[in-house]
Amino acid sequence: MERVMMKGNEALAEGAIRAGCRFFFGYPITPQNEIPEYMARRLPEVGGVFLQAESEVSAINMVYGAGGAGARVLTSSSGPGISLKLEGISYIAGAQVPCVIVNVARGGPGLGGLTPSQADYFQATKGGGHGDYRLLVYAPGNAQEMVDLMGLAFDKAEEYRNPVMILTDAIMGQMMEPVVLPPLRTVTAEQPWATTGKQGRKKPNLINSLGIVGEELERINIELQAKYDRMAAAEARYEADGTAEADLIVVAYGTSSRVARSAIARLRQEGKKVGLFRPVTLWPFPQAVLASLAADGKRFLVVEMSAGQLVEDVILAVNDRAKVSFFGKLNGTVPTVREVYDRIRSLLPEGGEG
């Protein structure tokens, strides 16, 4: 199969088109501009619509409209823009509208910088907008996964009628890697629940998240929570590389997982038993697997480009059954292979902390 070199951002965009996405609404922001720019060129070629919205707020509400109308629709942004989209994301989750949202994360807080970051993990997996809602969150580990998880994202969004987020970072989005592209899919915008005009239906379709009477809102939330439980049971994904035989397991995703992989490769050459656990879904977090690894007596090192976010989920999963160490790089900087290598070494039996 033919390999082509693509930037991660372009792989996401082409992956969406291959998955049948024909609508993109977004607003420029570095480091994800290749996505809208690619879409602007490419969507008209496949009969789709690219529209640059006047803001991220507007973009996410266009997505809400288009997704509610039954279409496969994508938007993408980074830190400040994702923050602006949160009201809309909460609406989309509450109204159970399928769509895919990409966050190519950059350093924060505030205006921050253009360098990669993993400090939007909480925002994607727990906090973010108001209310009890969940996104299915994928964290691709390479350009190929950018394509493949994008396809999955659209399918899952529709299956669960839930927004799906792809959380990646400036490095993953800007780097080029070879990818193999799947064939082009075409899907229709006809969903039985979507707004299309009544078209002979007895009951009009309604897309909303309003429960002005208390019990109505409780009903909505019970329905949502039941769905999240189903998702939690069925959708956790991860990559476990050498975790069974490992003494120490590094937990990392995205760019950190790649740096960790390089460090681990070096350590393995030296005969050390180090594994890599890479959550592919950040929500649902693959906690059962981690819990059982913890029960097997492993110890863990969480590497992330933040002050410590993923590490909370790891601790919650492991829940005092294993020791969890943390190596975080603050926003704006990426750990070097040597730093991670040194940190792992220091944790291994012969190392400092033992």
Ligand X SMILES: Cc1ncc(C[n+]2csc(CCOP(=O)(O)OP(=O)(O)O)c2C)c(N)n1
Of residues 316 through 345, those in contact with a second copy by CB under 8 A are 316, 319-321, 329-333
Given a contact cutoff of 8 angstroms between Cβ atoms, the answer to whether 325 and 334 are in contact is no
CA atoms of 20 and 181, how far apart (whole Å):
13
Q: Which one of residues 14, 56, 235, 304 is an interface residue with another protein (CB under 8 A)? A: 56
β-strand 281-283 against 324-328: which pairing, if any? Answer: unpaired
- Residues 110 to 169: which contact a second copy by CB under 8 A? 110-115, 117, 119-120, 122-133
CA atoms of 157 and 136, how far apart (whole Å):
8
Binding of a second copy at residue 65 (CB under 8 A)?
A: no
Site string for another protein, 89-118 (x = CB under 8 A): --x---x--------------xx--x----
Site string for a second copy, 219-258 (x = CB under 8 A): -xxx-xx--x------------------------------
Binding of another protein at residue 57 (CB under 8 A)?
A: yes
Nearer Cβ to a second copy (81/279):
81
- CB of residue 106 to ligand X, shortest distance in Å: 9
Query: Which DSSP state fits 73?
Result: E
Nearer Cβ to another protein (234/265):
265
The length of the chain, given as a count of residues: 354
- CB of residue 294 to ligand X, shortest distance in Å: 40
Phi, psi of 233, rounded to the nearest 5 degrees: -75, -35
Site string for another protein, 230-269 (x = CB under 8 A): -------------------------x--xxxxxxxx----
Nearer Cβ to another protein (16/264):
264
Given a contact cutoff of 8 angstroms between Cβ atoms, the answer to whether 100 and 163 are in contact is yes
CA atoms of 189 and 201, how far apart (whole Å):
17
Q: Which residue, among 189, 260, 220, 235, has the nearest Cα to 23 in the 3D structure?
A: 189
- Residues 140 to 199: which contact another protein by CB under 8 A? 142, 171, 174-178, 189, 195-199
Binding of another protein at residue 11 (CB under 8 A)?
A: no
Phi, psi of 302, rounded to the nearest 5 degrees: -95, 125
Task: Tell me which amino acid residue 134 is.
Answer: R
CA atoms of 284 and 228, how far apart (whole Å):
9
Given a contact cutoff of 8 angstroms between Cβ atoms, the answer to whether 248 and 299 are in contact is yes
Binding of another protein at residue 73 (CB under 8 A)?
A: yes
Residue 23 binds what, of another protein, ligand X, a second copy, none (CB under 5 to 8 Å, by partner type)?
another protein
> Diameter of the chain by CA atoms?
74
**Contacting residues toward ligand X, per CB under 6 A:** 27-29, 56, 80-81, 84
Q: Which residue, among 236, 249, 251, has the nearest Cα to 118 in the 3D structure?
A: 251
Q: Which stretch binds a second copy (CB under 8 A): 9-17, 76-84, 278-286, 339-347?
A: 76-84
Identify whether 183 is preceded by a cis peptide bond (ω within 30 of 0): no
Nearest 10 degrees: Cα torsion 229, 231, 234, 237: -120
Q: Which one of residues 61, 76, 118, 281 is an interface residue with another protein (CB under 8 A)? A: 61
Q: Which stretch binds another protein (CB under 8 A): 152-160, 209-217, 267-275, 315-323?
A: 209-217
Binding of another protein at residue 44 (CB under 8 A)?
A: yes
CA atoms of 47 and 191, how far apart (whole Å):
19
Report residue 270 as tokens. Answer: 């030296």
Nearer Cβ to another protein (199/353):
199
Residue 271 binds what, of a second copy, ligand X, another protein, none (CB under 5 to 8 Å, by partner type)?
none
Residue 67 binds what, of a second copy, another protein, ligand X, none (CB under 5 to 8 Å, by partner type)?
another protein
